[in-house]
């Protein structure tokens, strides 16, 4: 069994470093059974723990705090400071982590929070989008100070419920609210401080998707509608045409209306408008259907633009169209 190196020491100091030290971190020295040290683990920047973080991040840890014993929290904080967490992965409504303790292999942990239902998300996105400042702050990566009031109005819990009753935690060490878990909570709180959108991700919606839905809802509020394909401009103003027998000489030539149609400015393009209207997939994140479809649409669009912009792709019939005989409907000969 290795001893812990001095407080804040380089984990590469290696196993067997003496447990005695002269720094101010007494709590580290009191352990006889120190964890196996790892290199390049995550190290907590805020050494006093989640209490010194900004309120929205500190509140996350505070909500879970009462589930842990004082000792588990003290040990977990030490683990977080000296870098015993080798992996921390934040997924929708779930966090996975690996924390190296005294066992030969790191303990795998999973923390789950109850995800909001699609109806709750719809309500939340609608309420957030209705406040322009709220959306703007989230897009800038800041946490809106009105969030607690807004969530309370909707009856939704953004942070874990006090005492962690809506959180499920499992650790391979066999204990539920263990020091490994508190180390993860410390790291997670620090991440939430850096990126408040993680709080929403922990309720089931990744940041990118939330921002997209907020923008979409803002667009709907601002413009009343959001369309995938605007109606063609010609449909609104059909040109007045002379009788066919009066224009036999230029029947096959494009008239001035074609130029006028070309001059009409294109509507503002909203990427993936149809997918945005449809919203979140009913598969609830089990299969990334929306992401796959948007990638497929992008690939089709890029291929179509390539065909359009490639000089070799212009059909030969366009070049000689004015010389084709009137009334002829035969298509141009294709090369094999």
| Residues making contact with Zn ion (CB under 5 A) | 171, 173, 178, 180
CB of 3 to Zn ion, least distance (A): 21
In the complex with Zn ion, the residue whose CB is nearer, 147 or 171, is 171
Angle subtended at Cα 152 by Cα 118 and Cα 161, rounded to the nearest 5 degrees:
80
287: CB partners within 8 A, 6+ apart: 281
In the complex with Zn ion, the residue whose CB is nearer, 178 or 188, is 178
CB of 191 to Zn ion, least distance (A): 20
Helical ranges in the chain per DSSP H: 26-29, 55-65, 70-82, 118-130, 132-139, 147-154, 179-194, 197-201, 207-223, 233-236, 256-263, 273-278, 289-309, 316-319
> What SS3 string covers 130-152?
HCHHHHHHHHCCCCCCCHHHHHH
What is the number of alpha carbons within 13 Å of residue 320 lying toward its C-beta? Answer: 8
Paired residues of 85 in beta bridges: 42, 99
In the complex with Zn ion, the residue whose CB is nearer, 46 or 180, is 180
In the complex with Zn ion, the residue whose CB is nearer, 129 or 171, is 171
CB of 104 to Zn ion, least distance (A): 15
What does the DSSP 8-state code read for residue 76?
Answer: H
78 exposed, middle or buried (CB, 10 Å; 0-12, 13-18, 19+)?
buried
Phi, psi of 116 (to 5 degrees): -70, 150
In the complex with Zn ion, the residue whose CB is nearer, 37 or 180, is 180
CB of 188 to Zn ion, least distance (A): 15
CB of 1 to Zn ion, least distance (A): 18
In the complex with Zn ion, the residue whose CB is nearer, 180 or 217, is 180
CB of 216 to Zn ion, least distance (A): 41
Calpha distance 285→118 (Å, rounded):
11
CB of 111 to Zn ion, least distance (A): 11
In the complex with Zn ion, the residue whose CB is nearer, 72 or 138, is 72
What element of type H or E holds 97?
strand 94-99
Phi, psi of 279 (to 5 degrees): 80, -160
């Amino acid at each position: 069994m290795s001893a812990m190196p001095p407080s804040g020491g380089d984990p590469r100091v290696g196993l067997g470093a003496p447990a005695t030290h002269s720094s101010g971190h007494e709590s580290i020295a009191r352990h006889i059974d120190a964890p196996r040290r790892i290199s390049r683990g995550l190290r907590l920047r805020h050494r006093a723990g989640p209490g010194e973080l900004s309120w929205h991040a500190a509140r996350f840890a505070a909500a879970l705090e009462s589930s842990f014993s004082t000792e588990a929290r003290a040990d977990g904080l030490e683990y977080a400071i000296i870098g015993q967490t080798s992996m921390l992965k934040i997924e929708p409504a779930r966090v996975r982590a690996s924390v190296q303790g005294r066992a030969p292999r790191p303990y795998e942990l999973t923390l789950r929070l109850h995800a909001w239902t699609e109806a709750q998300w719809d309500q939340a996105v609608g309420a957030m989008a209705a406040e322009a400042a709220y959306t703007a702050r989230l897009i800038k990566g800041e946490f809106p100070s009105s969030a607690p009031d807004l969530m309370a109005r909707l009856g939704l819990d953004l942070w874990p419920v006090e005492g962690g009753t809506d959180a499920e935690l499992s650790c391979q060490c066999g204990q539920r609210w263990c020091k490994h878990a508190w180390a993860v909570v410390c790291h997670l709180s620090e991440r939430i401080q850096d990126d408040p959108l993680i709080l929403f991700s922990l309720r089931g919606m990744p940041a990118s998707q939330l921002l997209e839905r907020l923008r979409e809802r803002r667009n709907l509020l601002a413009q009343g509608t959001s369309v995938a394909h605007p109606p063609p401009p010609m449909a609104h103003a059909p040109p007045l045409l002379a009788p066919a027998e009066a224009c036999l000489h230029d029947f096959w030539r494009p008239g001035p209306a074609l130029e006028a149609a070309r001059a009409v400015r294109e509507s503002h393009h909203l990427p993936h408008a149809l997918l945005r209207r449809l919203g979140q997939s009913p598969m609830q994140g089990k299969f990334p259907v929306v992401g796959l479809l948007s990638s497929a649409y992008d690939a089709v669009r890029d291929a179509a633009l390539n065909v359009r912009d490639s000089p070799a792709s212009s059909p030969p019939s366009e070049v000689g169209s004015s010389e084709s005989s009137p009334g002829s409907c035969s298509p141009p000969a294709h090369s094999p």
